[in-house]
């Protein structure tokens, strides 16, 4: 390889001339400078194609997904048939400082056909900040998912308990159950009642009880009123507790002029107490003929395995 090297003749008149010289003829700093220039050109010759190739390779890798953000495939929850609401037991505890909350929620859940096995207050060491925590085991996970749909903001916790029962612990963040249309009043075949007589007419309670049985009601007891009341001007009175309010409303459809009397009984059983102006049941054609209501099938959203 040759290169041009500029030389100046000190005895010349100042004009500049050029001649071709070989690398072997260069000495000292000139030779060192030339070697540096060659190295730079060689490095550029080797590196530049590599950079171009590397850039193309990276672009290709991004284009094919080998590089760049790693996208993970997520699975969506799977819709599955829900268990029946009354097919498992719910143990309900209150960990908040709202007195009577567990009892109130238990009553609402029972009206929605859940089977509440027990109600109480959680131990003082239990603290649930959110709406609620639902504890379950392997066999109770679907049941917990169904109950979770009733309580916005509630969380599930697998504590490896045996069986399919679940434990609902209400927390400080509890507000209310999810809005749900109330079910229709129970059918006569779902209502148990007693028929009591306060009049002078013997056998009146038995006769009315027979008529009600013919309309599908379940009559438990008949006879004179155990409270020894005297309803001089009343047609009849229906006594009921908080659990029997809906049953009392259905029974009231059978009697014109009946009065409602709420007491503190804890069962859903109601009493029909006949008064002195009793004049019989309404005719069957005047009252609705209803059958037990069946809740529509429900679904739950089962999360991905491992979640």
Question: What's the pLDDT tens digit per position in 48-91?
Answer: 455 444 544 545 545 545 555 656 667 788 999 999 999 999 99
Q: 178 with 200, same domain?
A: no
Q: 123 with 194, same domain?
A: no
Chain mean position to CA 249: 32
E strands, 86-217, in order? 89-94, 115-121, 132-136, 155-158, 166-170, 192-197
In a domain, 72, yes or no: no
Following CA atoms 49, 50, 52, 54 in sequence, which dihedral angle do they give, to the nearest 10 degrees?
160
E strands, 182-241, in order? 192-197, 218-224, 236-240
Question: Could you tell me which residues are beta bridge partners of residue 3?
Answer: 21
In a domain, 70, yes or no: no
Q: 100 with 157, same domain?
A: yes
The CATH number linked to 242 is: 3.30.70.2390
> Measured between alpha carbons, how far is 307 from 282 in angstroms, rounded to an integer?
58
Q: 206 with 257, same domain?
A: yes
Residues 6+ away with beta carbon under 8 Å from 261: 237, 238, 239, 240
Length of the chain as a residue count: 307
By the 10 Å C-beta count (0-12 exposed, 13-18 middle, 19+ buried), 182 is classed as exposed
Which residue bears the tokens 């850039």?
55
Q: Are 147 and 134 in contact, with CB atoms under 8 Å apart? A: yes
> Measured between alpha carbons, how far is 145 from 156 in angstroms, rounded to an integer?
8
Q: 85 with 149, same domain?
A: yes
> Measured between alpha carbons, how far is 250 from 137 in angstroms, rounded to an integer?
39
Decide: helix, strand or coil at residue 288: coil
Write down the pTM of the prediction. 0.65
Q: What is the pLDDT at residue 20?
A: 39
211: nearest Cα among 199, 227, 202, 222 = 222
Q: 85 with 176, same domain?
A: yes
Q: What is the pLDDT at residue 170?
A: 98
Q: 280 with 194, same domain?
A: yes
In a domain, 212, yes or no: yes
Q: 147 with 207, same domain?
A: no
Q: What is the pLDDT at residue 134?
A: 98
Q: 114 with 52, same domain?
A: no
When divided into structural domains, the chain yields a total of 3
pLDDT in tens, 167-197: 999 999 999 999 999 889 999 999 999 999 9
Q: What is the pLDDT at residue 1?
A: 46
Q: pLDDT of the chain along its 307 residues, tens only?
A: 444 444 444 334 444 433 334 444 445 555 555 466 556 555 545 454 554 445 445 455 455 455 556 566 677 889 999 999 999 999 999 999 999 999 999 999 999 999 999 999 999 899 999 999 999 999 999 999 999 999 999 999 999 999 999 999 999 999 999 999 988 999 999 999 999 999 999 999 999 999 999 999 999 999 999 999 999 999 999 999 998 999 999 999 999 999 999 999 989 999 999 999 999 999 999 998 899 999 999 999 998 765 5
In a domain, 69, yes or no: no
Which residue bears the tokens 């504890």?
135
In a domain, 293, yes or no: no
Domain holding 229, by residue range, is 188-286
């Amino acid at each position: 390889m040759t290169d041009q090297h500029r030389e100046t003749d000190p005895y010349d008149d100042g004009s500049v001339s050029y001649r071709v010289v070989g690398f072997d003829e260069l000495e000292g700093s000139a030779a060192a400078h030339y070697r540096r220039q060659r190295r730079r050109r060689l490095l550029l010759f080797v590196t530049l194609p590599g950079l171009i190739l590397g850039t193309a390779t990276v672009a290709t890798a991004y284009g094919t997904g080998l590089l760049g953000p790693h996208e993970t495939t997520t699975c969506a929850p799977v819709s599955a048939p829900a268990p029946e609401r009354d097919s498992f037991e719910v143990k309900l505890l209150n960990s908040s400082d709202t007195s009577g909350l567990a009892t109130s929620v238990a009553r609402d859940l029972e009206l929605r056909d859940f089977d509440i096995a027990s109600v109480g207050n959680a131990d003082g060491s239990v603290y649930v900040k959110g709406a609620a925590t639902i504890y379950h085991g392997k066999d109770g996970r679907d049941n917990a998912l169904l109950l979770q749909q009733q309580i916005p903001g509630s969380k599930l916790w697998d504590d490896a308990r045996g069986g399919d029962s679940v434990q609902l612990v209400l927390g400080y963040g509890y507000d209310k159950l999810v809005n749900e249309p109330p079910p229709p009043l129970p059918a006569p075949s779902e209502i148990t009642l007693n028929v009591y007589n306060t009049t002078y007419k013997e056998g009146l309670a038995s006769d009315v009880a027979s008529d009600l049985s013919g309309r599908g009601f379940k009559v438990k007891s008949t006879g004179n009123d155990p409270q020894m009341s005297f309803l001089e001007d009343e047609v009849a009175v229906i006594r009921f507790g908080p659990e029997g309010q809906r049953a009392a409303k259905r029974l009231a459809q059978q009697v014109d002029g009946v009065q409602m009397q709420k007491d503190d009984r804890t069962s859903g059983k109601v009493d029909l107490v006949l008064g002195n102006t009793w004049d019989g049941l309404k005719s069957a054609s005047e009252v609705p003929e209803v059958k037990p209501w069946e809740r529509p099938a429900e679904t739950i959203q089962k999360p991905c395995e491992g979640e």
